[in-house]
């Protein structure tokens, strides 16, 4: 293939073009020998699950800021630079999710996380007064969902945050003996209770009914999906393997759970004569007398299948249930882990929280949460070090230029958030936990795309405000009641290579009741 002499930029990739492939090998760092069928994925074969994340991240850091790997004959461009993140995410054209998300389709369908185009926009707009995030479908769903995250609706959820946090504290009081225990399941159950009652309008009481099958199923299917991403197997073969059969059983369990939630909410609305929600005024929508859940809005839109079908309804419920409890749990636990390792920072958080709450057990208003400025910096710094989604993917709709490389349409781009957040060029001493990085005076000159824990651009996380309020409520209450001591250190902790960044052995802590703050 001849190149126009006026084009000085080197071609990073040109799909399925042998000549361009030769150019790629000469011009690109991070391009290894490519084998048939598996591409460069062979480098990951044989790595233990507990070692996979650290090995993969080291490869990314060694080859940053841009490199190419191959999934069979399909190239994937990895990027670790804020300027490149901005080009990819700030263009509304490039909202199509990458190849990994196709593996989520049997579970999440074309919900807000995986859909594209007009459908995504419609669903997001409907839910936006309530919280959460392939073509036209994405636009449609986004417009539908956006109303669900309106401030007044978020404010109405505060009583649920408080109630579930108090239940959590009651359960943890029995564990505050100074003996180590894994707090991760406790936080998971609390987050699941919160998302079901706020977004779905259905209490499931996971904290009281232990061993919830939904949580176990999410962990299993997440691990299976990532395993298949690393070691691709054609569907007609995979479905006959033991893992394929486990995937199908787990999928059925997840769908049964979401179907049960939808059915219970429909019945509750029918009994209260609210099957069709009236919207006479904005005060009626966001008023204090009633609290509309995300599911209520979708049920209204699904009446007679006018906008969203029953199948699409389940897809969005599955998306919200997963995104609304798993990522929140991870971030809360990473916060506790870091605060347990840095007692001096923990005490600064306690002093701030105690000065705001005085003798109250938990915060009771959004205004109190808004006063917790230092805690917010702690949460942001935790998300820098341990972003819930360490990577995201996009499939380009148009050709773009990243530095000296041209990337053609249809190429898959992997945005390595974890690696970006630990770049020493952006964050001096990047592995150090330092909440002061997010003091206003320290963020003024930072590139706006140097910190993207909730993604960025049109496909940013629609539920980030909801998550912040929930996390502040739970964390402030825990710090106000207990001293936290971590057992593992950041240098020793191992992370699970799942869809969400989790500690592989949970979050083992010791809790000690404070003398005051009861």
The yes-or-no verdict on residue 276 having pLDDT over 50 is: no
Q: Are 335 and 130 in contact (CB under 8 A)?
A: no
Q: How far apart are CA 151 and CA 369, in angstroms?
A: 14
Q: Is residue 54 part of a domain?
A: no
Q: How far apart are CA 518 and CA 362, in angstroms?
A: 9
Q: Is residue 185 part of a domain?
A: yes
Same domain, 127 and 87: no
Same domain, 418 and 468: no
The residue among 127, 161, 132 whose CA lies nearest residue 463 is 132
Length of the chain: 518
Per the structure, the count of domains in the chain is 2
Last residue within a domain, chosen from 409, 431, 446: 446
Least confident span in 170-184, 253-267, 301-315, 473-487:
301-315
Average pLDDT (66-85) is 87
Q: How far is CA 24 from the centre of its chain?
A: 33
- Residue 458: DSSP 8-state: G
Q: Are 386 and 334 in contact (CB under 8 A)?
A: yes
Q: What is the pLDDT of residue 269?
A: 78
- State yes or no: 461 annotated in a binding site: yes
The yes-or-no verdict on residue 8 having pLDDT over 90 is: no
| Token pair for 351 | 């002093």
3-state secondary structure 239-262: CCCHHHHHHHHHHHHHHHHHHHHH
CATH number at residue 71: 3.30.43.20
Q: How far apart are CA 365 and CA 376, in angstroms?
A: 16
Q: What's the Cα-to-Cα distance from 427 to each of 80, 227, 379, 432, rounded to whole Å? A: 13, 32, 16, 9
385 — pLDDT class (breaks 50, 70, 90): very high
CATH number at residue 302: 1.10.630.10
| Token pair for 254 | 């997840």
| 136 DSSP β-pair partners | 118
Same domain, 321 and 370: yes
Q: On the CB side of 167, how many CA atoms lie within 13 Å of its CA?
A: 20
Same domain, 418 and 347: no
| 395 DSSP β-pair partners | 412
Same domain, 423 and 470: no
Q: What is the pLDDT of residues 424-460, one digit of tens each?
A: 999 999 999 999 999 999 999 999 999 999 876 655 6
Q: What is the pLDDT of residues 458-505, one digit of tens each?
A: 556 777 889 999 999 999 999 999 999 999 999 999 998 778 999 999
- Residue 491: DSSP 8-state: T
| 28 DSSP β-pair partners | none
Same domain, 384 and 424: no
Same domain, 33 and 156: no
3-state secondary structure 387-454: CCCCEEEEECCCCEEECCEEECCCCEEEEEHHHHHCCCCCCCCCCCCCHHHHCHHHHCCCCCCCCCEC
What residue numbers bound the domain in which 397 lies?
1-46+64-93+390-446
Least confident span in 55-59, 132-136, 227-231, 497-501:
132-136
The rounded mean pLDDT for the chain is 81
Q: Is residue 55 part of a domain?
A: no
| 68 DSSP β-pair partners | 77
Q: How far apart are CA 269 and CA 267, in angstroms?
A: 5
pTM of the model: 0.83
Same domain, 428 and 478: no
145-151 long-range contacts (CB < 8 A, ≥24 apart) are 145/112, 145/294, 145/297, 145/298, 145/316, 145/462, 146/462, 147/285, 147/297, 148/199, 148/292, 148/293, 148/294, 148/297, 149/462, 149/463, 149/465, 149/466, 150/285, 150/286, 151/465
Q: Are 64 and 423 in contact (CB under 8 A)?
A: yes
Same domain, 212 and 231: yes
Q: How far apart are CA 317 and CA 307, in angstroms?
A: 16
Same domain, 185 and 242: yes
Q: What is the pLDDT of residues 192-229, one digit of tens each?
A: 999 999 988 888 889 988 777 888 898 899 889 888 87
Q: What is the pLDDT of residue 422?
A: 97
Q: Is residue 57 part of a domain?
A: no
Give the rounded percent of residues in the chain with a pLDDT score beyond 90. 44
Query: Between 441 and 117, whose confidence is greater?
Result: 441
Same domain, 113 and 225: yes
The yes-or-no verdict on residue 328 having pLDDT over 80 is: yes
Same domain, 236 and 374: yes
């Amino acid at each position: 293939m001849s190149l126009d002499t006026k084009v000085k930029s080197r071609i990073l990739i040109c799909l399925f073009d042998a000549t361009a492939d030769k150019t790629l090998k000469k011009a690109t760092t991070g391009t290894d020998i490519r084998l048939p069928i598996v591409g460069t994925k062979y480098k990951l074969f044989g790595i233990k699950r507990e070692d996979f994340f650290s090995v993969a991240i080291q490869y990314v850091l060694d080859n940053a800021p841009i490199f190419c790997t191959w999934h069979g004959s399909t190239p994937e461009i990895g990027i670790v630079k804020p300027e490149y993140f901005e080009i990819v995410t700030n263009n509304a054209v490039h909202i199509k999710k990458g190849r990994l998300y196709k593996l989520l389709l049997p579970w999440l369908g074309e919900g807000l996380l995986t859909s594209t185009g007009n459908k995504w926009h419609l669903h997001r707009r409907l839910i936006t007064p309530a919280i959460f995030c392939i073509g036209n479908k994405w636009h449609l769903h986004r417009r539908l969902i956006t109303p669900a995250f309106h401030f007044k609706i978020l404010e109405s959820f505060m009583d649920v945050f408080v109630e579930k946090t108090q239940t959590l504290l009651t359960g943890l009081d029995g564990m505050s003996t100074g003996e180590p225990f894994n707090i991760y399941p406790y936080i998971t159950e609390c987050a699941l209770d919160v998302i079901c009652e706020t977004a779905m309008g259905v209490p499931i009481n996971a904290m009281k009914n232990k061993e919830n099958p939904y949580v176990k199923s999410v962990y299993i299917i997440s691990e299976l999906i990532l395993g298949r991403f690393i070691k691709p197997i054609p569907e007609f073969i995979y479905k006959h393997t033991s893992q394929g059969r486990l995937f199908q059983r787990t999928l059925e369990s997840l769908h049964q759970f979401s179907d049960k939630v939808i059915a219970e909410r429909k019945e509750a609305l029918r009994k209260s004569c609210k099957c069709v929600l009236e919207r006479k005024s904005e005060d009626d929508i966001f008023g204090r007398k009633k609290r509309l859940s995300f599911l209520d809005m979708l049920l209204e839109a699904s009446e007679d299948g006018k906008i969203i079908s029953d199948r699409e309804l389940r897809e969005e419920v599955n998306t919200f249930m997963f995104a609304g409890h798993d990522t929140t749990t991870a971030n809360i636990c990473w916060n506790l882990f870091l605060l347990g390792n840095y007692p001096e920072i923990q005490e600064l958080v306690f002093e701030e929280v105690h000065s705001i709450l005085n003798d109250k057990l938990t915060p009771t208003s959004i205004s109190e949460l808004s006063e917790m400025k230092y805690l917010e910096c702690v949460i942001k710094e935790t998300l820098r070090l341990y972003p819930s989604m360490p990577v995201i993917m996009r499939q380009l709709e148009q050709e773009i230029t990243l530095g000296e490389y041209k990337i053609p349409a249809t190429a898959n781009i992997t945005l390595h958030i974890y690696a970006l957040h630990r770049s020493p060029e952006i964050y001096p001493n990047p592995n150090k936990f330092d909440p002061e990085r997010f003091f206003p005076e320290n963020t003024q000159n930072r590139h706006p795309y140097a910190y993207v824990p909730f993604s960025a651009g049109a496909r940013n996380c629609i539920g980030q405000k909801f998550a912040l309020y929930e996390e502040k409520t739970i964390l402030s209450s825990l710090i106000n009641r207990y001293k936290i001591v971590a057992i593992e250190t950041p240098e020793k902790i191992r992370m699970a290579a799942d869809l969400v960044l989790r500690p592989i052995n949970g979050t083992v802590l010791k809790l000690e009741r404070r003398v005051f703050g009861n």
